A and B are shown apart, each in its own frame.
Chain A
Amino acid sequence: MSQFIQQLLNGLFLGSIYALIALGYTMVYGVLRFINFAHGDVFMLGAFTGLYLNKLMGPILAALPWPVAILIVLVLSMAICAALGILIEWLAYRPLRDKPRLNVLITAIGVSLLIEYTGQLVFGATQQPFPAIIPKVNVGGLGGLTVTMTQVIVSVTAVALMIGLRFIVMKTKMGMAMRALSLNPTASSLMGVNNSVVISFTFGLGSALAAAGGILYASLYPSIEPFMGILPGLKAFVAAVLGGIGNIPGAALGGLIIGVTETLVAGYSDVLGIPSGYRDGVAFVILILILLFKPSGLLGKVEREKV
């Protein structure tokens, strides 16, 4: 039993990171109706920004208490990646506004590959260790369960960011404009909303969350490389579809479900009789199942494509 709870907890920690990435997919889909393929790569850039910040400010960070240090790294890398996300939208996607969706999709694939291979050139192709800013201690030992400090920080940060996002989307003017734009861009512009500004803001917000996801992921699995964004990105996308694409609470829920299922499949691979290497296939099976049975997702509404 305690092993099951342990696996469940591990799944939730991982799932909360998937949820952070999934939120970005879902928000961008909400305002622009397209899948931002490069989102997983912003997640990778977040981890590398963290690494380089640590290299750059190592002595200063070491002198600070670790919670302050991780907060500084987190906030700075979120800000840098938000700026990158806005830049990507402005350079690659904005020229294609009102163009066929397929063109935007192809561009997004191009952007994704460009980031990965430029990353390979700049950061090197090999795995790099991510600095342990959070001390490696166990905090919970109740009933044979182990919970590390890193896991606690990961889940607390993820939850705090999701609450923050909910506040922005539900309570601020910009958040209301985001919702209005995703429902009807024509009407929102007739309300005086500058849609371009809102789209930039959405990209910035989504990228910042992906960056935070990258730092947290790298803290859990402290070995990073330029292609690390592909699989988590893909799984987070499945999470977004599972929750109902365009639906913010759905993305968070979907992320948790994917994280838990994947961890359970890996943890009980001998019982289930499938190699633990198949854990990466779980998300894909879930994707096929949702597309077959409930393409609108758990919390989403059916949407008919308009002419």
Chain B
Amino acid sequence: MKQYQSQLALIIALAVSLGVSLCSSSIDDYYLDIMLNVGINVLLAVSLNLVNGHTGQFSLGHAAFMAVGAYGSSIVTLEMGAAMIHVFGGHGWFAEGLTFLIALSIGGLCAAICGWMVGVPSLRLRGDYLAIVTLGFNEIIRVVLQNTSGDGPFGGALGLKGIEPYTNFFWVFATAAIAIYTISALVNSTYGRGFLAVRDDEIAGESMGVNTVRYKVIAFVTGSFFAGLAGGLYAHLRTTISPEGFNFLKSVDVVVMVILGGMGSTVGVILAAVVLTVLNEFLRDFEQYRMIVFSLLLIVMMIVRPQGLLPATVFQRRKQA
């Protein structure tokens, strides 16, 4: 029974999110919106945690992969959505759902391919190169999108609007549950021990025959894929997207969640994503101080408690006991 525990948890999570989704019309719109935001941020934080936490690399461009996913999936639904729905049998939950699933997957795959292209050259080198390359990639994606033509498929600086609002409770939380399941399975598998070897000591890991570059690339591509899914969900929730929405600061938001929760600790990171998203919602009036507080948090955490508020070791110890 024990070996099927995580699969069981996944099925329960999927069922619950479907159930909640079916009665979501009775939830207040404002709170539902916050919940969906929480879900998307959990997805972002968990996927970044695979890179920054489990493998000890450092990506600063998570929003860029989110952007790729958002644009990729939106272009699919905007340009081909109607045709696809027609092929799948006209309007209805099945045809729309299948269309959205395909669009999301394409967005995620585009993000994964970008992740591979960015990751391969920089992951051969030390961790701080990845930070700069991803930061640069983040800026570039923004600059390139802004400079596209306004009436082309990318919409230029104004971005895309009129995206179908397909995202609902089920899609968000089902994707988040699948991401958590996949990433945990990846990290806990014998195969995944390689990730931890990479984090704990790259040189030692290498001398024991672990191909550290390969693990780093796998982690990075997987993380990028889920960030792309988060972008697709975000686009089909907001119905408008623009290049500015995926700037460096969006990446920093996710980084803060991972660090606050504890790099490598899935539970800690999920909690941090929930708390920070809700806090952000209530601190909207203090927007100009928000980033000052975030940056001070980063500095103070690194000096006082670099392992995060809920480090992975807390949970491991409990498991052993």
Identify the A interface with B (CB < 8 A): 34-35, 92, 95-96, 99-107, 109-114, 116-118, 120-121, 230-231, 234, 237-238, 241, 275, 277-278, 280-281, 283-284, 287-288, 291-292, 295, 305, 307
Interface core residue of B122, B136, B139 (most chain A CB under 10 Å): B136
Interface core residue of A114, A284, A292 (most chain B CB under 10 Å): A284
Bound state CA distance, A305 and B124, in angstroms?
12
| Chain B contacts for A237, CB-based, 8 A | 132
User: Which A residue's beta carbon lies closest to that of B137?
Assistant: A284
Bound state CA distance, A120 and B139, in angstroms?
20
User: Which B residue's beta carbon lies closest to that of A95?
Assistant: B303
User: Which B residue's beta carbon lies closest to that of A91?
Assistant: B299
User: Which A residue's beta carbon lies closest to that of B297?
Assistant: A110
Q: What distance in Å separates the Cβ of B50 from its nearest Cβ neighbour in chain A?
A: 15
| Contact status A295-B125, CB under 8 Å | yes
Question: B275: CB under 8 A from chain A?
Answer: no
| Contact status A234-B139, CB under 8 Å | yes
Question: If the complex has contacts A117-B292, A278-B143, A291-B121, are A102 and B137 also in contact, measured as CB distance less than 8 A?
Answer: no
Interface core residue of B125, B127, B252, B298 (most chain A CB under 10 Å): B298
Q: What distance in Å separates the Cβ of A102 from its nearest Cβ neighbour in chain B?
A: 6
| Contact status A105-B128, CB under 8 Å | yes
| Contact status A121-B292, CB under 8 Å | yes
Interface residues of B in 114-141 (CB under 8 A from A): 118, 121-122, 124-129, 131-133, 135-137, 139-140
| Contact status B133-A288, CB under 8 Å | yes
Bound state CA distance, A275 and B154, in angstroms?
15
| Chain A contacts for B125, CB-based, 8 A | 291, 295
| Contact status A113-B295, CB under 8 Å | yes
Interface core residue of A104, A106, A237 (most chain B CB under 10 Å): A106
Q: Looking at the complex, which one of B58, B121, B124, B291 makes contact with A105 (CB distance below 8 Å)? A: B58
| Contact status A113-B58, CB under 8 Å | no
| Chain B contacts for A112, CB-based, 8 A | 295
Q: Looking at the complex, which one of B128, B135, B295, B296 makes contact with A34 (CB distance below 8 Å)? A: B128
| Chain A contacts for B140, CB-based, 8 A | 280-281, 284
Q: Looking at the complex, which one of B122, B144, B294, B299 makes contact with A111 (CB distance below 8 Å)? A: B299
Bound state CA distance, A124 and B187, in angstroms?
45
| Contact status A110-B146, CB under 8 Å | no
| Chain B contacts for A283, CB-based, 8 A | 136
| Contact status B131-A105, CB under 8 Å | yes
User: Which B residue's beta carbon lies closest to that of A234?
Assistant: B136
| Contact status B255-A288, CB under 8 Å | no
User: Which B residue's beta carbon lies closest to that of A105?
Assistant: B128
Interface core residue of B58, B202, B299, B306 (most chain A CB under 10 Å): B299
| Chain B contacts for A117, CB-based, 8 A | 288, 291-292, 295
| Contact status A230-B136, CB under 8 Å | no
| Chain B contacts for A103, CB-based, 8 A | 302, 306
Q: Can you list 14 A-B pairs, Cβ within 8 angstroms, ordered by A?
A: A92-B299, A100-B306, A101-B128, A104-B302, A106-B58, A106-B301, A109-B255, A110-B302, A113-B298, A114-B296, A230-B248, A237-B132, A284-B136, A292-B121
| Chain B contacts for A238, CB-based, 8 A | 136
Question: B182: CB under 8 A from chain A?
Answer: no
| Contact status A278-B144, CB under 8 Å | yes
Bound state CA distance, A2 and B288, in angstroms?
48
Bound state CA distance, A99 and B299, in angstroms?
14
Bound state CA distance, A284 and B295, in angstroms?
25
| Chain B contacts for A291, CB-based, 8 A | 121-122, 124-125, 129, 133
| Contact status B127-A101, CB under 8 Å | yes
| Chain A contacts for B6, CB-based, 8 A | none
Bound state CA distance, A179 and B279, in angstroms?
48
| Contact status B295-A110, CB under 8 Å | yes
Bound state CA distance, A162 and B64, in angstroms?
36
| Chain B contacts for A292, CB-based, 8 A | 121
| Chain B contacts for A96, CB-based, 8 A | 302-303
Question: If the complex has contacts A113-B252, A283-B136, A288-B133, are A106 and B288 also in contact, measured as CB distance less than 8 A?
Answer: no
| Chain A contacts for B296, CB-based, 8 A | 110, 114
Q: What distance in Å separates the Cβ of A133 from its nearest Cβ neighbour in chain B?
A: 31
Question: B272: CB under 8 A from chain A?
Answer: no
| Chain B contacts for A113, CB-based, 8 A | 252, 291, 294-295, 298
Closest 5 CB pairs of A and B: A110-B298, A113-B295, A277-B147, A114-B295, A110-B299
| Contact status B143-A99, CB under 8 Å | no
| Contact status A234-B128, CB under 8 Å | no
Question: B259: CB under 8 A from chain A?
Answer: yes
